[in-house]
Structure 1
Amino acid sequence: MNGNAEFDRDLTPHFADSLDYVTVRIGEQLLGLPIERVRDVFIADRITVVPGAPSDIVGLLNLRGRIVTAICLRNRLGHTASEACEKGCSGLTAIGLDHRGESYGLIVDAVGEVVRLDRSTFEPLPVNLDPTWAALAAGVHRLPGSLLVILDLDAVLDLDLRAAA
């Protein structure tokens, strides 16, 4: 500290002007999950298939003493589920998060890196977006050569897509 509060404040990083995301891929689509919602990244082993569950529910698993509902994000977003998701195979990559007191694992094709993006690059969703995607996304960030679609995790975990179809 040099005693000049104005000078010291200017050197402080402006974290309030940035947003942090864990990036994941579903097919070729790059998606962003708000980092403050992500509890962990893990490999889903020993999934117990739940008969009669909706097609996007892969099953249940025990993760360090917690019962976790495994959800196929590919299927939830309206894509064809991978064969591994359909069969509840083990060894699937998952993003762990909590929602309304319950634990979930979003099964994804791949996990990328954590990115910090300036709030100024965040844009609302295009008006002509597919209704399923529009219901599940919060906005987009323009990146060099691609768009990062930011998922609304509350909507992903709350919305019954069969009713939206």
Structure 2
Amino acid sequence: MDQKLNEDNLGSMLEKEEVQLCGFKIGNGHYAVPVLDVQEVIRPQKLTPIPLAPDYIDGLINLRGQIVTAINMRKLFKLEDTPKETYMNIIVRSDDNLYSLVVDEILDVMEVPTKSFENTPDTLDLHIRGFISGVFKLKKQLLVLLNLEKIINIE
């Protein structure tokens, strides 16, 4: 069953007292997606480049016979791309397709109280704001909740 987060089911997710999120870093920021959207997390894989693809598409990964499109989140957010061997791939499913979110570091799976959720601040860069569902205010940092539907369906 596809539980992908979008505007329609964000409200039902926030009706619960807590929500489970997979946390990760992109640059200096802390981001998350709902655990239900994550199929698995894998180490760096061999990429097959795609000619004429947008610069944020790193290429394709062959994951046990399934083709996965790798989306470089640093490039998508227009951050400086630092060549790292330590990046991680968060594999998410949308309909019948698999996508990899290429992130700098996996943080943890965490249960976050939904009462700490706030709408996306207007002060965020317009380009990035379009990919965000909102922000969780935690004790030590802000945790930005990404909207996978908007990341995967970029126009």
SS state at 1:22 partner: strand
* 1:44 matched residue in structure 2: 44
Q: String of CA shifts for 1:87-146, please: whole Å, max 9, x gaps.
A: xxx774100011132111111000010010111001111122211121000000111121
Contact 1:44 1:61 in 2 (8 A): no
Percent sequence identity is 29
TM-score normalised to the size of structure 1? Answer: 0.80
* 1:9 matched residue in structure 2: none
Question: Is the helix fraction higher in 1 or 2?
Answer: 1
* 1:100 matched residue in structure 2: 95
For residues 21 and 78 of structure 2, what CA distance do their matches in structure 1 show?
22
Number of aligned pairs?
141
* 2:63 matched residue in structure 1: 63
* 1:123 matched residue in structure 2: 118
* 2:130 matched residue in structure 1: 135
Deviation of 1:44 (Å): 3.0
Whether 1:152 aligns to 2:137 is: no
Unaligned runs of 5+ in 2: 1-14
Q: String of CA shifts for 1:36-62, please: whole Å, max 9, x gaps.
A: 100000013221111211100000111
* 1:6 matched residue in structure 2: none
For residues 50 and 83 of structure 1, what CA distance do their matches in structure 2 show?
19
Larger Rg: 1
Which one-letter code corresponds to 1:120 in the other structure? K
For residues 131 and 144 of structure 2, what CA distance do their matches in structure 1 show?
10
RMSD of Structure 2 on Structure 1 (CA): 1.7
Q: Which runs of 4+ in 1 moved over 2 A?
A: 80-84
Deviation of 1:78 (Å): 1.9
For residues 82 and 130 of structure 1, what CA distance do their matches in structure 2 show?
21
For residues 23 and 123 of structure 1, what CA distance do their matches in structure 2 show?
17
Unaligned runs of 5+ in 1: 1-14, 85-89, 161-165
For residues 24 and 47 of structure 1, what CA distance do their matches in structure 2 show?
21
TM-score normalised to the size of structure 2? Answer: 0.85
**For residues 81-92 of structure 1, what are the structure 2 equivalents within 5 Å?**
81-83=81-83, 92=87
